[in-house]
A and B are shown apart, each in its own frame.
Chain A
């Protein structure tokens, strides 16, 4: 999972991250600002952004809402014990549901039997319960057990940052 930073372009990416970690300035011409900061011309800057987005290093240049402020006060981490052989097909199916924001396979442990995680968000408890029911229906008898862990409090939220050693 961990990839060492080695390509020459990665130095540029590092600078881009540091420059925009707090956000992109709200300017009519943001690329001109970025180009000046990076010491590139505007076309090269835009090409760099397009390339990074195509490669997936940048998912998109976007706004992140405080979902609580938009009324999404309910979120549930649904966890499922899915038959291993069915996982590739069902993981993709569950991940493709529009109300699932994150979907991962994780290991089972002695005191933890669930290997599929799907996060759902909604504006009411009923809404997320319905989502869970729908996922249960999709998984059918390939799933032995499930739970929904409802979040009741945010204790810390700083987001993922560049690891200090590579900053």
Chain B
């Protein structure tokens, strides 16, 4: 990664301008060319420094239901339970966190009923009590990681 890569990563996190020729605008801004920027972007995606480039939908506004939930998994069962959640398409992310509640995951379903059923299924599957913490208010969402 060189300086132009870093500037491109930072700039593209803020969003492509919605103008007729966005790459020309960015090329002027970053003192480069459209081709150069597109080649760099391709390389950064291929290399995995960037995971995605495209519209970021607020998927929650487009229907569906979501929640954050946690399990307190006994250490000796941790891998087994992680596997069980891995297999459920409703589980969007799952993180290990250092706490008595050591497994934290986000569920996305078509409906609130789907959420309730999936939570029930996870409780049955794992035999573990579950902490269900749906969001009640959003104060901020916005990732920005300066390269």
Contact = CB atoms under 8 A, between A and B. Distances in A.
Interface string A90-109: 01101110001111111101
Nearest to A17: B57
B111 A156 contact: no
Contacts of A13: 62
B12 A63 contact: yes
B54 A20 contact: yes
Contacts of B19: 46
B62 A17 contact: yes
A107 B69 CA distance: 12
Contacts of B131: 109, 111-112
Given A104-B139, A163-B63, A65 B99 contact: no
A39 interface: no
A103 B131 CA distance: 18
A2 B65 contact: yes
A104 B22 contact: no
Contacts of A42: 20
A152 B101 CA distance: 13
B60 interface: yes
Given A154-B95, A156-B94, A157-B93, A102 B50 contact: no
A84 B54 CA distance: 38
A85 interface: no
Contacts of B141: 59, 101-103
B16 A149 contact: no
The B interface, classified by DSSP as helix, strand, loop or mixed, is mixed
Nearest to A114: B133
A156 B105 contact: yes
Interface string B12-36: 1111101111110000000000110
A112 B131 CA distance: 8
B135 A26 contact: no
B38 interface: yes
A4 B139 contact: no
A69 B48 contact: yes
Given A46-B18, A50-B18, A161-B92, A107 B139 contact: no
Given A31-B20, A49-B18, A103-B140, A63 B82 contact: no
A62 B138 CA distance: 21
Contacts of A46: 18-20
A95 B138 CA distance: 9
A60 interface: yes
Given A5-B63, A101-B143, A149-B98, 8 more contacts: A23-B45, A26-B53, A61-B54, A66-B50, A87-B137, A95-B139, A154-B96, A159-B92
11 contacts: A17-B55, A24-B54, A26-B41, A26-B45, A57-B57, A59-B141, A62-B53, A65-B9, A102-B143, A104-B137, A156-B105
